[in-house]
Amino acid sequence: MSDPAIRNRSRATADMVARTANVSRVAVSRAFNPHASIKPEKRDLILKVAQELNYTPDMAARSMVTGRSHLVGIIVPDVSGPWESQELDAMTTALQAEGFATLLFRTRDDLSMDETLLTYMKGFNPDSVIAYAENVRPTTLARVLDRAVPIYVGYPDEDAAEAEAAPLFDRLDVLQREGIEQAVALMQGYGARRFAFLAGKTNSLATQSRERMVIKVLAERGLPPPTRIPGDYTYDTAYRETLNHFRLGEPVDAIFAANDVGAFGAIDALRTELGLRVPQDVKVVGFDDIHQSHWKSYNLTTVKLDLTERTQALLRLILRRLKNPTSPSLTETVSTRLVVRGTVG
Amino acid sequence: MSDPAIRNRSRATADMVARTANVSRVAVSRAFNPHASIKPEKRDLILKVAQELNYTPDMAARSMVTGRSHLVGIIVPDVSGPWESQELDAMTTALQAEGFATLLFRTRDDLSMDETLLTYMKGFNPDSVIAYAENVRPTTLARVLDRAVPIYVGYPDEDAAEAEAAPLFDRLDVLQREGIEQAVALMQGYGARRFAFLAGKTNSLATQSRERMVIKVLAERGLPPPTRIPGDYTYDTAYRETLNHFRLGEPVDAIFAANDVGAFGAIDALRTELGLRVPQDVKVVGFDDIHQSHWKSYNLTTVKLDLTERTQALLRLILRRLKNPTSPSLTETVSTRLVVRGTVG
DNA sequence: AACAGTTTTGCACACGATTTCATTTTAGGG
DNA sequence: CCCTAAAATGAAATCGTGTGCAAAACTGTT
């Protein structure tokens, strides 16, 4: 019953290569490990035979003994969002260049699944995990993942005294003050006085932090606090709520959106349905600087989160932790800056 | 030197759980396998102890003996593209619901890396692989991946006699005639006579197939063949080339874009820089129906590739193949249809 | 030619689970 | 109370690879 054809369907192993090349199985292992000492001619022979047999070392077996899976887990709430997918793209590219494969997980909007998901992910033994403050409770993160030290992307209140002096894991903190100050200054310079803040998902730490910082900066510049337009980061909600606000709520002459996609929704509502001009009647600023923001229909002035900078910082954290697993937690910070286009002045 | 603190940093194993619960290691294994026969009270005890010890079965070890990695590899050229990311999102969600994790790889634009990438991916022993015709040569796919049967998403010429009667692997074929016929009919109905085809990447099979089919359908309806505007699926190129064509090339009154993002670029070029109205002066149709296509600034009429339908078909193929690895290759097909919005009439 | 030092080699074990298979325990029926 | 069928149990083999260690092979020097 051991049909050789079926048997042939399975992968080649190091043993088969060894037997074919008339060497020991250990030699095969060494041939594939650059740092192992093996006679060069022997290595060449083995690699040649391996190629003929279409042999590739089994990462699962390898990871069991080395303790390295070469997997990095990434947890994202919505892969299809422009910002999320652009970050995922940058991160996957960077990881791949370092020899890691991306293990992708998608959360639901609520946090109800986070424990199940993390537990499941843990089974794959990722060398590192990138999680975002919005999607996973930090306590769950710390409890479930004991082996891989996760990286937590957060948006701290830069001015507030950080209570958590000793973070549980490596972090990337995004400092949003600078970009927000530049944006408010620009809008004020062009005459904006009554601001609205178009929110993101209410349970999102990023949007909460952005709103607090906008309020603070407005106060510092002697401007009244912003009115609040509800939102959830989506175009449709932003469109609808902007419409609603301009028809029923207090008039405003500037909108600070929690993300670019929301800003697009607001702009389209203003122009298409309300007959208002951007930037002449209402000034709009977004957050993220996704690719779409420079599209001519929007040409959005926005607070940029530099993707390259973020990605490099995350990669540094991962590699450092892998090189020295017991080193104390480190927090990297990245800043933000305004990208000026056509929706303010 | 065997510091218990350091030892403690590593994951709990089935042995530890067994010892703590005073059962055999085999029992622990059975407790986690729903189909295994084990006394319910015993299973409960083990699961309780496992939770206390924060134990999760190691997928790598499990996969070695079961032959199932619970990984599905996906190869994408550009995760950040709207269409690609929306498909990735749908696929990841569906796979996760079936207990698979997504192993994500990103290709460069050219095909030079495909062998290296596939070889690398093979090391992880994915249970299945989803590859797109644009990114990977089918011959490479067949040669490298011997264990996991890949799924190849292609765009066959529906009318041509399919030479490859016996495909090498499972396929998802996208039939584009129907949507294209509807689109051409609609544009012709509103008076369009001289068409342009705004191309995608020239080495993309999807764009080649779309172009051939557009030519064919135009001919069938007694219309002149389309002029060709070069493109690469990006907004910027579409914008620039559309501008260029309308300034120097033959005049057209309809643009059939190979993808939605390209259509956006064309629309913005027409409206912003050329002072032309869409749809009054020029009619535009895209391909894909990404989320952004219903945004008011574009409100694009487009040929929809139904994501749910695609995802379900892919999932069916994967599950069928896993249940019966030796069954002959199967090809599923999905169709396309026009979504009418505001850029034609 | 003998020696010391370095490189190369291969055996045996470890990694963390699952799966026969033979054995013991339990349950059910007369 | 006994017998039989079904369910539960654990010992041992297995998956494919990397690594410690001791032996072997090589290198170059006196």
DSSP string, B133-174: TTTS-HHHHHHH-SSSPEEEEE---SSS--S-SS-SSEEEEE
pLDDT value for B183 = 98
pLDDT value for B163 = 45
Res A148 pLDDT > 70: no
A108 touches chain B (CB under 8 A): no
Integer Cα distance of A11 and B325 in angstroms: 14
User: Three-class SS of residue A129?
Assistant: strand
Q: Look at the block and give the residue holding tokens 């830069």.
A: A158
For strand D, which residues in window 39-78 of chain B come within 7 Å by CB? 39-40, 42, 61, 64-65
Q: Is the CB of B29 under 7 A from strand C?
A: yes
pLDDT band at B159 (very low <50, low <70, confident <90, very high): low
Whether A11 sits inside 8 A of B147 (CB atoms) is yes
Q: Is the CB of A27 under 7 A from strand C?
A: yes
Q: Which residues of A touch B85 (CB under 8 A)?
A: 79-82, 84-85, 88-89
Which nucleotide in the DNA or RNA is closest to residue A18, CA to C1'?
C10
Average pLDDT over residues B67-91: 94
Distances (CA, A) of A30 to A46, A65, A323, B27: 10, 14, 22, 37
Integer Cα distance of B254 and A123 in angstroms: 54
Lowest-confidence pick of A34-48, A250-264, B230-244 = A34-48
Whether A295 sits inside 8 A of B102 (CB atoms) is no
Which nucleotide in the DNA or RNA is closest to residue A55, CA to C1'?
D16
Integer Cα distance of A10 and A297 in angstroms: 54
Q: Provide φ and ψ at A13, rounded to 5°.
A: -115, 170
Distances (CA, A) of A344 to A189, A190, A192, A284, B188: 10, 7, 9, 6, 41
Q: Which residues of B touch A82 (CB under 8 A)?
A: 80, 82, 85
B54 touches chain A (CB under 8 A): yes
Angstrom distance, A59 CA to C24 C1': 40
Whether B235 sits inside 8 A of A81 (CB atoms) is no
Token output for A150:
């996760």
Res A2 pLDDT > 80: no
| DSSP conformational letter for A270 | I
Which nucleotide in the DNA or RNA is closest to residue B13, CA to C1'?
C16
Res A288 pLDDT > 60: yes
Angstrom distance, B275 CA to D2 C1': 100
Which nucleotide in the DNA or RNA is closest to residue A25, CA to C1'?
C10
B144 touches chain A (CB under 8 A): yes
pLDDT value for B7 = 34
Query: How many CB pairs lie under 8 A apart between chains A and B?
Result: 185
pLDDT value for A1 = 31
Angle between helices B14-21 and B25-32 (to 10 degrees): 110
Tell me the percentage of chain B whose pLDDT exceeds 90: 69
User: Three-class SS of residue B268?
Assistant: helix
Angstrom distance, A109 CA to D20 C1': 49
Integer Cα distance of A252 and A228 in angstroms: 10
pLDDT value for B132 = 79
- CB proximity list for A241: less than 8 A, separation 6 or greater: A198, A229, A230, A231
* Residues comprising chain A, all counted: 345
Say how many CA atoms lie within 13 Å of B210 toward its Cβ.
Answer: 29
Do residues A57 and A70 make contact, with C-beta atoms less than 8 angstroms apart?
A: no
Q: Is the CB of A68 under 7 A from strand C?
A: no
Token output for B124:
């992880």
- Taking only the tens place, the pLDDT of each residue in A82-103 is 999 999 999 999 999 999 999 9
Res A121 pLDDT > 90: yes
Beta-sheet strands, E only, within chain A: 71-76, 101-106, 128-132, 150-154, 170-174, 195-198, 227-229, 254-257, 283-288, 301-305, 331-334, 336-339
Q: Provide φ and ψ at B20, rounded to 5°.
A: -65, -40
A143 touches chain B (CB under 8 A): yes
Torsion, Cα of B103, B104, B105, B106 (10° steps): 180
Exposed / middle / buried, residue A205 (Cβ in 10 Å: 0-12, 13-18, 19+): middle
Do residues B336 and B303 make contact, with C-beta atoms less than 8 angstroms apart?
A: yes
pLDDT band at B114 (very low <50, low <70, confident <90, very high): confident
Q: Is the CB of B58 under 7 A from strand C?
A: yes
A98 touches chain B (CB under 8 A): no
Tell me the percentage of chain A whose pLDDT exceeds 90: 69
Res A4 pLDDT > 50: no
Q: Which residue has the higher pLDDT, B146 or A207?
A: A207
Q: Which of residues 154-213 of A touch B (CB under 8 A)?
A: none
Residue in chain B nearest A106 by alpha carbon: B93
Instruction: Report CA torsion sign: A258, A264, A269, A270.
Output: positive
Angle between helices A82-97 and A307-323 (to 10 degrees): 40
Q: Model-level pTM?
A: 0.92
Angstrom distance, A29 CA to D10 C1': 34
Q: Is the CB of A166 under 7 A from strand C?
A: no
Do residues A24 and A18 make contact, with C-beta atoms less than 8 angstroms apart?
A: yes
Integer Cα distance of B18 and A345 in angstroms: 69
Looking at beta carbons, which pairs linking A63-69 to residues 24 or more positions away fall under 8 Å? A63/A125, A63/B60, A64/B58, A64/B60, A64/B61, A64/B64, A67/B10, A68/A127, A68/A322, A69/A124, A69/A125, A69/A126, A69/A127, A69/B60
Nearest to A5 by CA among B146, B66, B321, B320: B146
Token output for B210:
């779309």
Average pLDDT over residues A250-258: 96
Integer Cα distance of A278 and A257 in angstroms: 14
Average pLDDT over residues A108-136: 82
Whether B85 sits inside 8 A of A81 (CB atoms) is yes
- Cis preceding linkage at B279, omega within 30: yes
Which nucleotide in the DNA or RNA is closest to residue A24, CA to C1'?
C10
User: Three-class SS of residue B256?
Assistant: strand
Q: Which residues of B touch A81 (CB under 8 A)?
A: 85
Do residues B126 and B152 make contact, with C-beta atoms less than 8 angstroms apart?
A: no
Q: Which nucleotides of C are covered by protein (CB under 7 A)?
A: 7-12, 14-20
